[in-house]
Amino acid sequence: MLEIYIDADACPVKNETFKVATRYKLKVWVVANQYINLPLDPSIQMQVVSGDFDAADDWIVDNIKENDILITSDILLAERCILKQAKVIGPKGRELDEESIGSAKAARELNEHLRHLGTPKTGPSAMEKKDRSNFLNKLDQVIQAIKRKTGA
């Protein structure tokens, strides 16, 4: 059964994900290194991991399956989950897949290099209303495509 995983520590679209998941009756795993207040809904599960580096990422990779969905802005986690045939969506609605992950990694490395050189403003831009709308549309599209593919 299709499940959604949220890399939750800094995810700005948790509530949007919950609404869509509720509509489709999907289970959501919220993974973080500290407890996050969540709606009282048995289909939304909190998984608190240790504070170790990449503990949340490792838990997600260990549990995500083919055709599950990951919500994250972490490019390296996205790559690990794409290798497991999961679908990955960023908080602004960008889907990452086998074709796009290479350029996303290259952009990440370039921005990291620029930050080390002291170049300002190499991080992501602020979330806007249109970004939330793009996310909701993409999440709906991905769920529909998985349901068509798997016959669920």
Q: Residue 107 pLDDT > 70, yes or no?
A: no
Percent over 90 (pLDDT), the chain = 72
Q: What is the pLDDT of residue 101?
A: 74
Higher pLDDT, 112 or 106: 112
Q: Are 143 and 2 in contact (CB under 8 A)?
A: yes
Q: What is the pLDDT of residue 111?
A: 65
Q: Residue 102 pLDDT > 90, yes or no?
A: no
Q: What is the pLDDT of residue 1?
A: 87
Q: What is the pLDDT of residue 106?
A: 63
Q: What is the pLDDT of residue 123?
A: 59
Confidence category of residue 108, pLDDT binned at 50, 70, 90 = low
Q: Which residues of 14-32 are buried (b: 16+ CB within 10 A; e: fewer)?
A: bebbbebbeeeebbbbbbb
- Reported as a single tens digit per residue, the pLDDT across 44-89 is 999 999 988 899 999 999 999 999 999 999 999 999 999 999 999 9
Give the pTM: 0.87
> CB under 8 Å to 19, separation ≥6 — which residues?
none
Burial class (CB in 10 A: 0-12, 13-18, 19+), 132: middle
Higher pLDDT, 66 or 110: 66
Q: What is the pLDDT of residue 110?
A: 65
Domains and CATH numbers, the chain: 3-150 (3.40.50)
